[in-house]
Amino acid sequence: MTYTEISKFLSFVLRHQPEAIGLTLDREGWVSIDDLIAGASKDGKELSYELIEAVVDGSDKKRFAISEDGALIRAVQGHSTETVQRSFPEQIPPETLYHGTATRFLESIREQGLLAGSRHYVHLSHNQDTAIAVGRRYGKPVLLEIDALEMQQQGFKFFLSENGVWLTQSVPREFIRDE
Ligand code: HQG
């Protein structure tokens, strides 16, 4: 497997379907690296500690973290599996945050606002280029400006993950500017 294939495999089992290889994540998303290697092996994927460490260190978005004692691994954010209810530090956001999406979702977003969908949070970015790249994954990208500070001042909670992704439960349409 290439590093990218391993990274995608780790995202799949550590964010979405740990049960696919017999893993159970704890509430904070952690699982034993030994168990991960054993589960992957039963699925025909030969991983080693060194390989996993190299993928974690090389991840452009710092998607994964290894515990201080080196025994556990987790995805930092992006979870959909219900067993994980990570706690993130609550933070006051900057005035504007960005969300990149595809033009085909715009009509629905204008009606419903931004919804987390299968993930636990809506993902927002401080950086416009990052948001546009995120939107491009689904089609012609469009950049939405979110009045984050205004939202926070009205009582919505914002969290900042260790890898710099801003998270909030949903974004009502009145806080979204797309033109
Ligand atoms: C859209 C990647 C219709 C939303 C990225 C998005 C990110 C709606 C899609 C992370 C909607 C969900 C997350 C509504 C939201 N109607 N469409 N009401 N509300 N949407 O993948 O934010 O590489 O779950 O705009 O970098 O695209 O995996 O979320 O297009 O940080 O580490 O529904 O995934 O990180 O798609 O991406 P996603 P996302 P990784």
ipTM computed for the complex:
0.95
Phi, psi of 67 (to 5 degrees): -65, 160
CATH number of the structural domain spanning residue 152: 3.20.170.30
The reply to whether 112 and 165 lie within a common domain is yes
Q: Which of 123, 125, 127, 167 most suits a substitution to test ligand 1, by most atoms within 8 Å of the C-beta?
A: 123
Residue 57 CB contacts under 8 Å (≥ 6 apart), including other chains: none
Give yes or no for residue 117 CB within 6 A of ligand 1: yes
The reply to whether 71 and 107 lie within a common domain is no
The reply to whether 117 and 172 lie within a common domain is yes
Task: Report which protein residue has its CA nearest ligand 1's atom 17.
Answer: 105
Give yes or no for residue 123 CB within 6 A of ligand 1: yes
81 part of a folded domain: no
Q: How does pLDDT run across 7-17, given as a tens digit for each residue? A: 999 999 999 99
86 part of a folded domain: no
Q: How does pLDDT run across 126-144, given as a tens digit for each residue? A: 999 999 999 999 999 999 9
- For residue 130, the enclosing domain spans 96-177
- Is pLDDT above 80 for 179? no
